[in-house]
Structures are given as structure tokens and as C-alpha cells.
Structure 1
Amino acid sequence: MAAAPAFAANQPCSGKKGGIAGCDGELFLCNDGSISGSRQNCAARYGDSGQAARPQSLLRSSDGCPCGGGSFCTGPRGGVYCLTPSGNKSYKRK
């Protein structure tokens, strides 16, 4: 008997991130409150075209940019991030 092939492909929000909590447009929101670094499109994968068209604003302050809120902050060196529930920054992949 042949062994079944093992699939080692990484999934969005795998490991310590605890799985997918939902979508924020094209981004995957993880159960730990961070955003996934996946290059996959969450809205396309789950057919959530309404959120994909929603504009995402970039803010200059750390207030008002929680992950899942549709708004992101920009850091002093141009990094785009949101704040997790624990107050940590979760950076958006370029």
C-alpha cells in the first residue's frame, strides 16, 4: 500500500495564530487578532466581494487602527500595520 501524500502547504493564520477569524477585505484576520502575511486574497477565497471593494484608509497615528477595523496606520519608515487586541503591531505584507 502506498502512503497518502502529505500536504505541507502553509495556510493563512496557521500555527500560533490560531486559524482564520475572518476577512478584512483581501486580508485574513487571525484568531490571535493579527493579520496574516499570506499573499492569498481572503475576499476572493470566501466570496466576500462586498468587503473587498471597501476602501482602506491609512492613518498617521496609533489611535483608531485596530486589526479588523478596515483602517491601517503607517509607521515612521512607511510600514503599514494595524493594532492587535493585545496592543501589538501586525504589519501588512508589501
Structure 2
Amino acid sequence: MTPLSPYLNHRFTLKTSFIAAVVLCIAGLLLAALAVNFPMLMIARILQGAGTGVALPLMFNIILEQSPRSRLGLLMGVGNMVCARPDRGRCR
């Protein structure tokens, strides 16, 4: 989905793309919660992955296009914190 996102950004508005990504994630979440077998769960995870694959590049695109230059570093840092796994950097 990530390589497809530039095409989607040119074809649709930011708001439409964001709403579609959120709907895909929520649909995948609900389907996963109601999954009774593995194929149903796999389809749910694919929907969640498609929504996330659109939402993450879209988030950085919105930050780069809409934020003022003086706040760009801070906002990119916050965006990266959203993507970071919480257990990275921990000693095992």
C-alpha cells in the first residue's frame, strides 16, 4: 500500500484518503474482533494493513505540506513517535 499512496494522494483529496484509511482500519478491527476462524482473521488483518499502509505516508505528507517550517522538526518527531514500537531500545 505504501508505494500506492502517492497515486492515491494525487487522485483523491487528503480528507477523502484519510477517511478511507480510518474506515479500513476500523472495519479490520471489527472484523478481527468477530473472527471465528483463521481466514476471517487474516482478511481482517489485511484490511488493517491496507488502512495503515495508506494512513502512515499520508500522515507524513500532511505534516510536510501543511505545517509551518519552524515547527517541521517537532511535528516530524511526533509523527515518528506514532510509528515507533514501544519496546525498541530496551535491553533484554
Flag the structure with higher helix content: 2
Q: TM-score range by the shorter chain?
A: under 0.3
- TM-score, with normalisation over the residues of structure 2? 0.25
Higher relative contact order (CA 8 A, sep 6+): 2
- TM-score, with normalisation over the residues of structure 1? 0.24
Flag the structure with higher strand content: 1
